[in-house]
């Protein structure tokens, strides 16, 4: 969440965090919620420590990004209404 308003970012992330189990099920891996990222941003992320196979990592990044987008876009639109 990259709004210049920290309280707004925190509110959005906390609403998403309530669905953590569903998000993790859809994404297929643990999700981390960070309420203090940068000066006023918040973020939700997944990590992959296996960087030994770059093509495999590229596929993981693309696949995970698509899953995030497909799952979160409608939910974010609803939150931001």
φ, ψ of residue 73 to 5 degrees: the values are -55, -55
pLDDT one-digit tens code per residue, 30-78: 999 999 988 899 999 998 888 888 888 999 999 999 999 999 999 999 9
Q: What is the pLDDT of residue 37?
A: 87
32 φ/ψ sector (left φ>0, alpha ψ -120 to 50, else beta)? beta
- Whether pLDDT at 16 is above 90: yes
Copy the structure tokens of residue 32. 């981390």
**Quick one: pLDDT band at residue 2, thresholds 50, 70, 90?**
confident
Rg (CA), the chain: 14
């Amino acid at each position: 969440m990259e709004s210049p308003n920290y309280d707004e970012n925190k509110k959005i992330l906390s609403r998403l965090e309530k669905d953590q189990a569903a998000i993790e099920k859809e994404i297929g891996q643990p999700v981390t919620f960070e309420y203090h990222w940068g000066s006023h941003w918040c973020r939700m992320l997944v990590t992959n420590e296996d960087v030994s196979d770059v093509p495999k990592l590229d596929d993981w990044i693309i696949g995970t990004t698509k899953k995030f987008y497909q799952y979160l876009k409608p939910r974010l639109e609803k939150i931001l209404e």
